[in-house]
Amino acid sequence: MPHKFNAARRDKIPKQKHRVTSWPEYNEGLRQRGDLTVWISEDALSLWSAPRRTTRGGQPHYSDLAIEMCLTLGLVFKQPLRQTQGLMRSIARLLGVAITVPDFSTLSRRGNGLTLRPKPKSRCDKPVQLVVDSTGLKIFGEGDWLEEKHKARRKRRSWRKLHLGLDLVSGEIVCSDLTKDDVGDPTALPDLLDQVAGPVSHFLAGGAYDGDPTSDLLAARFGSLIEVTIPPPKKAILSPDAAKEPTARDDHIAEIAAHGRMAWQKATGYNQRSRGETLMGRWKAVIGPKLKARNFKNQKTEAKIGVWVLNRMTGLGRPSFERTA
């Protein structure tokens, strides 16, 4: 990786220093992240019961909003479904509201393919600068205890792949998807781009997305003027028509050959892709490195709620930095 080229003398390179310029607002936003009134409002309680259905079949007791609220609280406070039910009952009792709380089996059943509320429209009217990255999340399975206790051979560890798209301008997650571990990053990209509302001016991603299929897909979706920054591999070669009609990838290869990969990284703004990696670390610190749900549809619902939670926290306040050294 380019940022490791100077690893041998990394200790001699002075570290950049920054200062937060919006500390009062950001500090208050951090406090509000722990405020229960952020998660439960009067509007949510008024929509707790499901509307009467007009077709044949059983009448649901709880609306999708009620199920989503309970699952959100369970995700934020890292509670299993039974403990989530108890948490919601205690909150309803403290608020003095006469509502019934769905039991853990209802939460599990309704969470299977739950339709979440549409995300609010972004307050930023600038084109999206999209950074796409993926990470692995552990799921429930037989682990070290089986091997140690019963001397049984452990099955291959299973995991899911979480794909996230971050807008560098607004700081929000604008697209997400949870796939099985055999789905490659370029394969999941079309479904991610379908979720992006509005124009995209810049696309940054890792070397796994390198190739004509990704470039053609981005040009077809957002126009030929989109700026695509994907690092070509070390042994990449120019296209046959590079002398007459060079592509963006050819320009990247030529600039790396002329000035080096570190200079290319700085000139193209590829350093901003680290914010995508920071987002993955933030997910695993706030949401967690594992998925609690057992089946795939519930896991997809859990991942969607995690995206909503992180965006909600981002909306409460973001720090503004300025470099001091």
What predicted TM-score, i.e. pTM, was given to this entire model?
A: 0.86
Residue 14 lies in a domain: no
Are residue 248 and residue 103 in the same domain, yes or no?
no
Are residue 140 and residue 277 in the same domain, yes or no?
yes
Are residue 319 and residue 275 in the same domain, yes or no?
no
Assess contact for 130 and 282: CB atoms under 8 A.
Answer: no
Residue 256 lies in a domain: yes
Domain containing residue 320? 20-117+295-325
**Edge to edge, what strands does the sheet with 159-167 contain?**
173-180, 159-167, 128-138, 200-204, 227-229
Are residue 90 and residue 153 in the same domain, yes or no?
no
- How many other β-carbons are positioned within 10 Å of the β-carbon of residue 264? 22
Are residue 206 and residue 170 in the same domain, yes or no?
yes
Counted domains in the chain? 2
Residue 189 lies in a domain: yes
Per-residue pLDDT of the chain (325 residues; tens, 9 = 90+): 445 556 666 666 677 788 888 889 989 999 998 888 877 778 888 889 888 877 887 778 899 999 999 999 999 999 999 999 999 999 889 888 888 999 999 999 999 989 888 876 666 678 999 999 999 999 876 555 555 555 566 555 678 999 999 999 999 999 999 999 889 999 999 999 999 988 999 999 999 999 889 999 999 999 989 999 999 998 889 988 888 888 999 999 999 999 988 889 989 999 999 999 999 999 999 999 999 998 999 999 999 999 999 999 998 988 888 888 7
Residue 1 lies in a domain: no
Nearest to 227 by CA among 247, 198, 253: 247
Distance between alpha carbon 185 and the CA centroid of its chain, in Å? 14
Nearest to 136 by CA among 291, 21, 13, 24: 291
